[in-house]
Structure 1
Amino acid sequence: MPVSALPPSEIVRRQHAFFRDGATRPVSFRVDRLRKLREAIVRFEPRLLAALRQDLNKSEREAYATEIGIALTELRVALRGVRGWAKPKRAKTPMSHSGASSRIVPEPYGTTLIVSPWNYPFMLTIAPLISAIAAGNTAVLKPSELTPNVSMLIAELIRETFSSDYVAVVEGDAQVSAELLRQPFDHIFFTGSPAVGRIVMEAAAKQLIPVTLELGGKSPCIVDKDADLQLAAKRIAFGKFTNAGQTCVAPDYAFVHREVKEAFVEKLAEVVTRFYGERPMESPEYGRIVNERHYKRLTGYLDDGRIVFGGQTDGTSLKIAPTLLDQVPLDSPIMREEIFGPLLPIVEYEDEAEIEAVVEANPKPLALYVFTRNKAFAGRIVERIRFGDACINDTVMHFGSPYLPIGGVGSSGIGSYHGEYGFRAFSHYKSILTMTNLFDPPFRYPDSKWGMKVIRKLLR
């Protein structure tokens, strides 16, 4: 029976059985499956590029750089590192445990659920899968129904590469997701909005299932008065308007020092025109909004400030030009809700206290960006504001590093992943203490004459 015809409960039951048989435990098995996944991605690359163009109008450059290339990099790092990551590690043993040895053993959780979003539908499905495989788990994937061509292709790729008892894809809408969340998984990895993240966490809590939540939020971008404005404009435009702004770590709004605001806006407009031309909605390098609902949500924000650049819309193609908004009230909807689109409010500031007050008034952001030549200024911002991850003098590039843990804090997420940190996210670390039988220190027992003195000396 094809996996698509099986109910989620049966898929999970079979994966539990497969995991209990121990097939995923040997590191050699994991390495072999990671290699098979890499071969499949390379083989499917032309079709994946086409599907990403169909669903989100991603150019070949953008699709490869932000989706396929990142997945292949994660695979390369996992293949090089998994043997070391999976080895038991020796740990220190206190004097109070004389004669003992301590070790920490990474153990796979078991059968895992990976629920992925639509904005980077391939990369945000495959990257956590790589971590799950490297850690020795089985996995059920639930790609987003809002990018149907990519979802269908992921299902085909996985079906051709793995047994469904090991890795399976379940396609469908929110009802399918709800049914999956009722299953007895050993770990749930979710990427998406904070609103849906709460639903996932609530469902997991009912069964005490551990979760990794990669969410979002309003990520601020601060442009100091002594920043390199030309470079800042280029890097902010790249981070904000890639994928038409539909990036969880995209700059959500820009704090720009009063003395350089006018010059910065001018340079940012020039860079956007250089990137996408005078008619950006016609550029083959510029994406579209995923569906009509999100398009209408975004166009509703256009009245929340004065448009100083862009603002063009096309409901037929679901495109919104890169847009800069000035004079945006801090209590307007665009400043209270995550934008997730190609609109960038410009907020003027005079001193650091203003920045901190606005950022701290919102839930903790997933990312924070600071553009400055002043290391002390950057240090104060990074130290005083709570956030998930940061870039100094760049945007979004930290997400492409397989050597950094990527994750939020508070409403922007729980846990982190990428590279070895992804392996850790899908592993339980067992502590094992082995005590000697050669001697038995008497001080811990109640009949020891000198026990209390020894205990006080050792435990202080």
Structure 2
Amino acid sequence: MATAEFSKVLQKARNAFKGGITKNVDFRIQQLNNFYRMCVENEQQLAAAVTQDLGKPTQESILFEVEFLLNDIRCMKQNIRNWVKPEPTEKNFITLLDETFIQKEPYGVVFILGAWNYPVQLSLSPMVGAITAGNCVILKPSELSPKTADLMKTLLPKYLDKECYHVVTGGPDETVEMLKEEFDYIFYTGSTRVGQLVRDAANKHLTPCTLELGGKSPVYLDDSINFDVACKRLLWGKLINAGQTCVAPDYLLCTEKVQEKLIPALKKTLKEFYGENPKVSKDLGRVLNEKHFNRLLGLMKHGDTVIGGEHDESTRYIAPTVIKNVKLSDPIMQEEIFGPLFPIVTVDGPEEAIDIINSKDKPLTLNVYSKQHDVIRKFIENTSSGSVCVNDSIVNLSIDALPFGGVGKSGIGAYHGKYSFDTFSHKKAVLIRNYSMLGEKLGEARYPPYSPANQKYLRKLLKKRPNLLPPHMDYVAMFLLGVSFAVIVKVILHFSGVNYF
């Protein structure tokens, strides 16, 4: 898209937001209903586009793309009216009779940059959160999944408001030009390298942003596990979308003893999943393009391949491949694999594994396979990662009550469920004071002329104390204080001889 044309789209979205239509909760719900209908009515088209772009099995396209999005919309529709309500807060003693709350308001025009590996989910799920929070949205799907991008550009205007929500397309050069514009929020999913460029562009306008990146997500296994079950969960997580998943297990850490049991168990599971020849299985995806195919072949050159290794450039097929005798200095341990390769690094035990994990950039997720509670706690407490999944892989993403996001170079910010709404909402602090006599008396010592006595009194009054009442009980406290004040006044008037009737 040309720069001038994109500027017109951006101005159109700005004008729509200024018009205030997206601040209407009923309007947002209507858009969510239309969004849901779009997904239901075009489920097969969306799944087919993903399959054309990535060679994904249909079940993966339906479950991880369309159904994930439908569930996201269900969550938003069920909770939006509660989420938009002002949120009462604690108060200090001076403002006890006043009203304090957090008002959730939309940022404005949000620019969402989707990713190619889950082109429906990673483009439209953030958009659902932005709509729920009341923003206008400009969505740019990845040019590396062109069929899906074109379909979204066709479908979204048919179902969503054409003034508030827009889809734009283009390659890296066009994206760079788009990012020169000023937005109210930017949401990017993709590589750490490009994420740094997005952050630099956002910084020029002090634009807040969320970066959903990736990195090398490690796995530690010990010999307390059920090897048959663990291998199924592990390989399923590794090989959906041919390993092209940002939270896919990247490399294995285990002892020599565990490795001896693990390799035969992995071989057995792969045969159960894909048969004698995985290449003819309809349940195994393909690598995105020739560039990524050749990159993965280069990573396979180090270590000893003990399972798989077969490949076919004409179809971008790489067999599920397990490699042992891998060194930390090998290229496969220097970058995110993003493919069906599984290197094993042997360690003496959990302490050495933790040292290796902590010597690298903080991962998006960490997988621990163990039945030993002390080992599990050791990894949770002594490593830093966006998330931890114990005795399974990727399943934690299905729980929308858990935030999804990275830390350090694996990302900034989080979303899913209410965290999506929070990400796209500015939390405005509000204090509404009243003119009650008691409230004014409590705080009048702040006015000049200052004195040591007033200073001492104010310090006592402002001192942080345990909050004995939840925020919504402040009105009860206000009522009781008011009654107490009235009683005190009446007593004073009575003993002063004043007739107050």
TM-score normalised according to structure 2 size: 0.89
Look up the SS of the partner of 2:401 in the other structure. Answer: coil
Q: Which has the larger radius of gyration?
A: 2
Q: Distance in 2 between matches of 1:130 and 1:63?
A: 19
Aligned-partner residue type, residue 453 of structure 1: K
- The residue correspondences of 1:419-438 to structure 2 (distance < 5 A) are 419-438=417-436
Tell me how far 1:211 sits from its aligned partner: 0.2
Match of 1:73 among 71, 94, 103: 71
Aligned-partner residue type, residue 461 of structure 2: L
In the alignment, is the contact (CA less than 8 A) between 2:3 and 2:178 conserved in 1?
A: no
Look up the SS of the partner of 2:403 in the other structure. Answer: coil
Look up the SS of the partner of 1:196 in the other structure. Answer: helix
Aligned to 2:241: 243
Look up the SS of the partner of 1:141 in the other structure. Answer: strand
Can you list the C-alpha shifts for 1:389-438, whole angstroms capped at 9, x where unaligned?
11111001111222211000000000000010000000100000111212
Give the gaps of 5 or more residues in structure 1: none
Match of 1:454 among 434, 441, 457: 457
Aligned-partner residue type, residue 252 of structure 2: A
Tell me how far 1:350 sits from its aligned partner: 1.5
In the alignment, is the contact (CA less than 8 A) between 1:309 and 1:324 conserved in 2?
A: yes
CA RMSD of aligned residues (A): 1.3
Tell me how far 1:281 sits from its aligned partner: 1.8
Aligned to 1:353: 351
Q: Distance in 2 between matches of 1:194 and 1:202?
A: 12
In the alignment, is the contact (CA less than 8 A) between 1:73 and 1:402 conserved in 2?
A: no
Aligned to 1:442: 444
Aligned to 1:30: 28
Tell me how far 1:443 sits from its aligned partner: 1.6
Tell me how far 1:5 sits from its aligned partner: 10
Match of 2:142 among 138, 141, 144: 144
Aligned to 1:128: 126
Match of 1:382 among 362, 380, 383: 380
In the alignment, is the contact (CA less than 8 A) between 1:366 and 1:412 conserved in 2?
A: yes
Q: Count how many residue pairs are aligned between Structure 1 and Structure 2.
A: 458
Match of 1:415 among 410, 413, 416: 413
Q: Distance in 1 between matches of 2:80 and 2:375?
A: 39
Query: Which 10-residue stretch deviates more, 406-415 or 176-185?
Result: 176-185
Q: Distance in 1 between matches of 2:2 and 2:333?
A: 42
Aligned-partner residue type, residue 98 of structure 2: A
- The residue correspondences of 1:2-401 to structure 2 (distance < 5 A) are 7-401=5-399
Query: Which 10-residue stretch deviates more, 434-443 or 59-68?
Result: 434-443
Aligned-partner residue type, residue 139 of structure 1: V
Look up the SS of the partner of 1:260 in the other structure. Answer: helix
Tell me how far 1:6 sits from its aligned partner: 6.8
Can you list the C-alpha shifts for 1:289-308, whole angstroms capped at 9, x where unaligned?
11110111011011121100
Q: Distance in 1 between matches of 2:94 and 2:225?
A: 55
Tell me how far 1:257 sits from its aligned partner: 2.7
In the alignment, is the contact (CA less than 8 A) between 1:34 and 1:134 conserved in 2?
A: yes
Look up the SS of the partner of 1:259 in the other structure. Answer: helix
In the alignment, is the contact (CA less than 8 A) between 2:3 and 2:177 conserved in 1?
A: no
Q: Distance in 1 between matches of 2:263 and 2:63?
A: 27
In the alignment, is the contact (CA less than 8 A) between 1:445 and 1:451 conserved in 2?
A: no
TM-score normalised according to structure 1 size: 0.97
In the alignment, is the contact (CA less than 8 A) between 1:220 and 1:368 conserved in 2?
A: yes
Can you list the C-alpha shifts for 1:282-326, whole angstroms capped at 9, x where unaligned?
211110111110111011011121100001111000111100000
Look up the SS of the partner of 1:152 in the other structure. Answer: helix
Tell me how far 1:228 sits from its aligned partner: 1.6
Give the gaps of 5 or more residues in structure 2: 464-501
Tell me how far 1:452 sits from its aligned partner: 1.0
Identity, % of aligned positions: 39
Tell me how far 1:259 sits from its aligned partner: 2.1
